[in-house]
Amino acid sequence: MRVAFYAPLKPPDHPTPSGDRRVARLLMEALKVAGHAPMLASRFRSRDAEGDRDGSIEAKGAAEAAQCVERLKAEPPAAWLTYHLYYKAPDWIGPPVARALGIPYLVAEASVAPKRATGRFARGHRAIVDALGQAAAVLALSRLDMECLEPVTRKLHHFPPFLDAAPFAAPRAANDPPELLAVGMMRADAKLKSYLLLAAALKQIAGRRWRLRIVGDGVARKEIEDAFAPLGDRVVFHGAAGPEALPALYAAADLLVWPAVDEAFGMVLLEAQAAGTPVIAGGFGGVPEIVADGVSGLVAPPGDVAAFARAVASLLDDPVRRRAMGTAARTHIKDNHDLPEAARRLDAILTAVTR
C-alpha cells in the first residue's frame, strides 16, 4: 500500500545528518521491506524553539495541509505516518489531511509534556494532544514513552528502535591492549556531558591497560580534548566518520563505551551490538531496553561515574566474558532490533488499521 510519510522536525532527505533523520529514513526503509510504498508527503518543518505564540507556524502548516490534500485527493494513500512529535515540532499537516482523505493517521515516537499545557509552548502541546487523540496507532519506541502517552491515547504499540544490521557483519578483531570506542557528535549539550562523564570514569581506571578511540567532531571538541588530555596519547581523536566507515570502527573495537546522558536510546548502542561489540552504557531513558544488561553489555546507573568505571574495568579484566557478550550482542540485535523484524511489526500495525 502507499503510505504518506512526514517528519515535522526534519525531513528524511535533509542535508544535515542527525539521529532524527536517521530514524526517519529507517522507518521509510522498513515500509519498503514490508512491501509498502512510502511517499514523502511534505518537507514542511514546524520546529519553533521560541513557541508559536502568534500562530504563524500553525497557519503555514494549515496552508501546506490544504496543498497536500489537493495533491493527494486524486489518488489517496492508504495511510499517513508521522514520525516524531513533540511540543516544539507539532504536526499541523497530518491530522487534517488524514481527515480530509478519510485515511488512518499513525504516529511513530511522540512525547507529551503536561507542564507545556500553558505558556509559550501551549499551542504546540495542544496540537500534540489533538494529533494523538486522532491517531489510529501510536508507535512508542520505549516503555517509558508508553507510560508518558497512556493518559492521552490507548492506541499504543511498543515498537523497539531498530537498524539495518547487515552492514555491521564484518569480521571482528581482538586487540592488546583492549581498544575502547566512543562515538558521538561533539555538541555543547548532553553529548558533552557524556564525554565529560566518560573522561572522569576512565581516569579512575587509568592504571589498567586500554586505548580509547573517539569518533566525532563539533563545537565542543576543544573542551572534550581538554577533559581527556590527562590520559595522554592512549586517547586518539579520530574526527567525524561517515556511516560507511562506522562498521569497520566498531569491528576493530573491543568495547563501546558511552554514558548516553539524557538520550532516548542511542543509535550507536544498537550499531555496536550489531557489530558484535559489547556495550558499556549509562542507563538513561530507553537504554536499558536496548542493551541486555549482563548479556550484550553492561548498563551503569545513570550519571554514576564510579559505577561506569567499574563496569568498564570488569570487562577489561575478563576477555572471555567480553567475547561471549559480543556474540550475544549480535543475536540480541537480530532477534529484537533488526530491520526485518521492525518491518514485520510495522506491517502488522498498518494491516490492522487499514482493514
pLDDT at 27: 98
Closest CA to 87 of 65, 57, 44, 66: 57
CATH homologous superfamily, domain 166-336: Glycogen Phosphorylase B; (3.40.50.2000)
pLDDT digits (tens, 9 = 90+) for 175-229: 999 999 999 999 999 999 999 999 999 999 999 999 999 999 999 999 999 999 9
Coil, strand, or helix at residue 182? strand
CB 168 within 8 A of CB 243: no
pLDDT at 298: 98
pLDDT at residue 33 is higher than 90: yes
CATH homologous superfamily, domain 2-162+338-353: Glycogen Phosphorylase B; (3.40.50.2000)
Most confident segment among 47-56, 111-120, 153-162: 153-162
- Please list the residue range(s) of the chain that carry CATH number 3.40.50.2000: 2-162+338-353, 166-336
Question: Whole-number mean pLDDT of the chain?
Answer: 95
Return the percentage of the chain with pLDDT > 70, whole number: 100
Q: Region 254-269: what's the mean pLDDT?
A: 94
pLDDT at residue 166 is higher than 90: yes
pLDDT at residue 77 is higher than 90: yes
186: left (phi over 0), alpha (psi -120 to 50) or beta: beta
For 170, which DSSP code? P
Query: Which helix or strand (DSSP H or E) is residue 322 part of?
Result: helix 319-336
pLDDT digits (tens, 9 = 90+) for 296-351: 999 999 999 999 999 999 999 999 999 999 999 999 999 999 999 999 999 999 99
Radius of gyration, alpha carbons of the chain: 21
pLDDT digits (tens, 9 = 90+) for 88-114: 999 999 999 999 999 999 999 999 988
Task: Give the three cell numbers for residue 349.
Answer: 500495525
Helix axes 190-204, 305-316, angle to 10 degrees: 60
pLDDT at 48: 87
Q: Region 232-249: what's the mean pLDDT?
A: 95
Query: Which helix or strand (DSSP H or E) is residue 214 part of?
Result: strand 211-215
pLDDT at 53: 78
